């Protein structure tokens, strides 16, 4: 979530993990509480960010970290 007085630290961390892993990142910034709530409802999740790779929902930043770790072997 990006607001004038707030940038989601989990989103920043996830973005960096993806870039470090060589992934091309297509950020879909949520800029209002309404956008966040609509996104959560649409995807049936309680938190943001949510990471999708090849249209598969990986999950939040913790799940992304585990996913990338598993792929690294």
Q: For domain 2-72, give its CATH number from 3.40.718.10, 3.40.30.10, 3.40.50.620, 3.40.640.10.
A: 3.40.30.10
4-32 per-position pLDDT tens digit: 677 888 988 999 999 999 999 998 888 88
Query: What span, in angstroms and rounded, lies between the C-alpha atoms of 43 and 51?
Result: 11
Res 3: pLDDT? 62
Other CB atoms closer than 10 Å to residue 69's CB: what's the count? 9
| Domain residue limits, the chain | 2-72
Q: Are 71 and 17 in contact (CB under 8 A)?
A: no
Give the pLDDT of residue 50.
96
The reported pTM is 0.83
Cβ of 51: how many Cβ atoms within 10 Å? 21
């Amino acid at each position: 979530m990006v607001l004038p007085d707030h940038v989601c630290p989990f989103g920043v961390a996830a973005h960096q993990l993806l870039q470090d892993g060589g992934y091309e990142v297509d950020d879909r910034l949520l800029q209002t509480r309404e956008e966040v709530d609509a996104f959560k409802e649409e995807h049936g999740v309680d938190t943001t960010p949510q990471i999708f790779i090849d249209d598969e929902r990986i999950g939040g930043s913790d799940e992304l970290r585990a996913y990338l770790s598993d792929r690294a072997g």
